[in-house]
Amino acid sequence: MENRYSDLGDGTFINPVLYTDYSDPDVIRVGEDYYMVASSFCNTPGLPILRSKDLVNWKMVGYGLENIPYDRYKKPAHGCGVWAPSIRYYDGEFVIFFPMPDEGIFVTKAKKPEGPWSEPVAIYEGKGYIDPCPFIDDDGKAYMVNAYAKSRIGFKSVLAITELSRDLTAMIGETVKVFDGNENDQQTIEGPKLYKRNGWYYIFAPAGGVKQGWQTVLRSKNIYGPYEYRIVMEQKDTDVNGPHQGAWVDTPDGRDFFLHFQDVYAAGRIVHVQPLKWINDWPVIGTAKEGETCGKPVSRMDKPVCVNTGIFAPDAGDDFDLDTIGLQWQWNANHESDWAKPSAVESCIYLKSVPAEKSISDQPNLFLQKWPMPEFTVKTKLDLSGIKEGDEAGIVNMGVSYGALSVLLKNGRCDLRAISGEQTFSNEKATANDLVTEIDEDIFPEGMAKEIYFKYSVTRVTSDEINAEGKYKFPVPKEIVTLSYGFDGLNYKPALTFNAKAGRWVGVKCGLYIRNVDGAEGGNLRCEYFLFE
């Protein structure tokens, strides 16, 4: 599995540490453990939480949010929902701040990262506030730094600080603008994280745009400024475009590192770890020559923490040998508890049919996983004996370009068909129309077992396309998705091929679904495995 694991087993690792879409990562250290939280947008459960001992090998431990507040998220709201969060640990309690650009800023707390997490509390209700990060000063006063979304509030590139109540559940001070990137060369500055070191307040924040930007750091002796700034990492002669927002963490022995994401188009926003050193109370991230104040990303280096925990990555695939749903799975919108029923005894999972939406991209019960590497194949075995009239069940690809290969039970016959389409966005709302192609009619003659195998393949091909925006140029990767079917688990026939395109701010996901095109109460889909190769 190419690029599945970052740890090389010899005390070194290669970036990225996660070739998986963990967008807008924030990381903290608690004792000898590191915890990461990431954006989840309209997918649920939301706010994925990962744990590591060495910043290289990561495992999912839970989610901070079961479903998203507000009824609108019962249907997919692509690009909306839970944006860039931050995680902190205060007074024996984990705290996550997360923004919803149409609804406000929310806080949830837990004694353990696995949960249970408290019901989210809105400390700001309204549009446009994004990327919040809490901070408690030496005198016990609490603050929040945030950015703004132009699409909701009419402006961007501004960072602000507001005093909070000590329990972090209310804004008690006036919001003060502390930096305006529109007034200099730091347009699109966002994703701020607030820290303090040696009497200096630091705001780490990317600027210049997700794919073509850089890392900026602000500092001041007063929390409200004025702040001076410096670019501390950019792409330079590497292939790591944009190096975008992330977090500064230290090790138990006092060394410093920075985690950030890189946008690689269809595969989403993958996570890198960089060394960080302090020179004259300014951070330099990545590797830099003597006298340079701005570093560049590193591709291979020693592990930040030498601890033998094994080589691993977040789970991908599933053989359904547990009575609980694996943490690798998310839904396309808010979900109901009875949509999936795993059975360890049968080593399978049952997915419940729900009424069909106009477009498969708007189907809330798509059962999805992130891409775990640049190229791969997934194979799955489906038992259709539990489907009912009007049910359509199969394998699905979810991105701006989407596709599915499925079996439809209609008028007593099982017909195989391919579904494809592409979302368009206007005023932050997605619309799409499905194109349906009939593949084969009546694929299960009377008396045959209703079992079918599907294969989902991702192949990266050479592309001459170059993104020439901004200061640096970088190649645009191109991935081809192919959906195939078979009846013996060995031989497959390709049925649908298309170019993968990332979702709205998220990477492409793959998975399973069942829906009833007649809007009736349908049956269920039984899946025996969903395995990556």
List the beta strands (DSSP E) in 7-57: 12-14, 26-30, 33-37, 46-52
**pLDDT score recorded for residue 462:** 79
**Catalytic-labelled residue, pool 7, 21, 24, 357:** 24
521 counts as catalytic = no
190 counts as catalytic = yes
d(C-alpha 260, C-alpha 49), whole Å: 16
Domains with residue ranges and CATH for the chain: 12-302 (2.115.10.20), 330-532 (2.60.120.200)
Strand 158-164 relative to strand 474-475: parallel, antiparallel, unpaired?
A: unpaired
In 79-188, which residue ranges form alpha helices assigned H by DSSP?
Answer: 150-153
d(C-alpha 159, C-alpha 180), whole Å: 7
Tens of pLDDT, residues 35-81: 999 999 999 999 999 999 999 999 999 999 999 999 999 999 999 99
DSSP 374: S
**pLDDT score recorded for residue 1:** 37
Tokens representing residue 510 in the block: 């793959």
Tokens representing residue 487 in the block: 């009846």
Phi, psi values for residue 143, rounded to 5°: -140, 165
Name the band, by pLDDT with cuts 50, 70 and 90, for residue 474.
confident
Q: Give me the chain's average pLDDT, please.
A: 96
Tens of pLDDT, residues 130-169: 999 999 999 999 999 999 999 999 999 999 999 999 999 9
> Which residue type occupies 77?
A
> Strand, coil or helix: what is 292?
coil
**Catalytic-labelled residue, pool 21, 54, 190, 263:** 190
Strand partners, 437: 418
Average pLDDT, integer, range 281-292: 97
Helix (H) or strand (E) holding 153, with range, is: helix 150-153
Contact between residue 314 and residue 328 where contact means Cβ atoms under 8 Å apart: yes
The answer for residues whose C-beta is within 8 angstroms of residue 353's C-beta and 6 or more apart is 387, 388, 391, 393, 514, 515, 516, 521, 522, 523, 524, 525
**pLDDT score recorded for residue 470:** 75
pLDDT score of 423 more than 90: yes
Q: Percent of the chain, pLDDT > 70?
A: 99
pLDDT score of 468 more than 80: no
Q: Percent of the chain, pLDDT > 90?
A: 92
**pLDDT score recorded for residue 488:** 93
